[in-house]
Amino acid sequence: MTRVLLAVWNRWFGEPLRQVEAESLAYRASEAGQRLDVKTIVVVLVAAACLTIQNFAMAPERCTAFFGFFAELLGGADGRERMLDRLQDWSHDQGARLTWAGSCMILTYTVLPILAIKLVFRERLLDYGTGIRGVVKDWPVYLVFALVMAPLVWIFSAERRFQDIYPFYRVTSPEQVDGVFARWEAIYAVQFMALEFFFRGFMVHGLKHRFGAYAVFVMVIPYCMIHYHKPWPEACGSILAGVGLGVVSLVTRSVWPGAALHIFVAFSMDFSSLYRRGYLG
């Protein structure tokens, strides 16, 4: 059994991770590696800035000062008043509020990192996990992840603390599982694509030249922190999930397997919760 596990590890993980470590060691031993590592500094600061902006812009009412200022600048006091009224309306409408939050996460996870990659580093997005070449060949790894997570999701979806959170779009009757709910789920899925690009793409691949495979563990620190408002089993599980998805991204050089797994788990939790509450027929 031990030999089988070692063979599996070397086949899908060991050799790719050793290659990442070798490339990092070569960089750190090079002349460029002896100088100030501007790239590492930019990645860390951009990541911190993105998460800070996200924290303070996740709801319409948190942005009244910002949008009110520009509305007044362009339309005077009346323009400011109209903008504040609109933000207030959005903050009390579940669909609009969640659309705002989802859009905020998508933008904060992508815009600044892409600008840093293209304008500061002058590198390709493909080098940050956006490629798909060779991803399908590792399908057994993704299947194992899915098979491990599916029963855990089903078990936890029975607990009140998870039903009180999922789905984020609060449903109180079967009739509310409608087009607005479907729109939120679509935004939710895109948000996970952006999240994977940010954590497993921008951070992991942006730091691997300096930290090698240990870039995964650097990334896990802020990743687990964005789960602090979730139930504690999920917050703790995010540490293991972050490490696993980070390793998969390093091995496949793609964030899309992680995005697919993340979406699978999120949708499974949402629909399991709805099913247990009797809202899915």
DSSP 196-240: HIIIIIIIHHHHHHHHGGGHHHHHHHHHHHTTTTS-HHHHHHHHH
Give dist(CA 84, CA 108) in Å, integer.
23
Q: Is the pTM of this model over 0.75?
A: yes
What is the C-alpha to C-alpha distance for residues 205 and 195, in angstroms, rounded to an integer?
Answer: 14
Q: What's the number of domains the chain is made of?
A: 1
* pLDDT bracket for residue 9 (50, 70, 90): low
Whole-number pLDDT of residue 4: 57
Mean pLDDT over each residue of the chain, to the nearest integer: 91
The reply to whether 118 falls in a domain is: no
The whole domain housing 41 covers: 20-57+128-276
Structural domain contains residue 71: no
CA distance 150 to 268: 7
Indicate if the pLDDT at residue 7 is higher than 70.
no
Q: 17-31, 127-141, 168-182: which has the minimum mean pLDDT?
A: 127-141
pLDDT of residue 16: 81
- Which of these ranges, 72-76, 131-135, 145-149, 173-177, has the smallest mean pLDDT? 131-135
pLDDT score for 41: 98
**What does the pLDDT read at residue 132?**
86
Give a yes or no: residue 102 inside a domain: no
CA distance 27 to 210: 7
> Contact, 224 vs 242, CB < 8 A?
yes
DSSP bridge pairs for 130? 254
The residue type found at 58 is M
| Confidence at 195, pLDDT banded by 50, 70, 90 | very high
Is 135 inside a domain boundary? yes
Quickly state the pLDDT bin for 143 (edges 50, 70, 90): confident
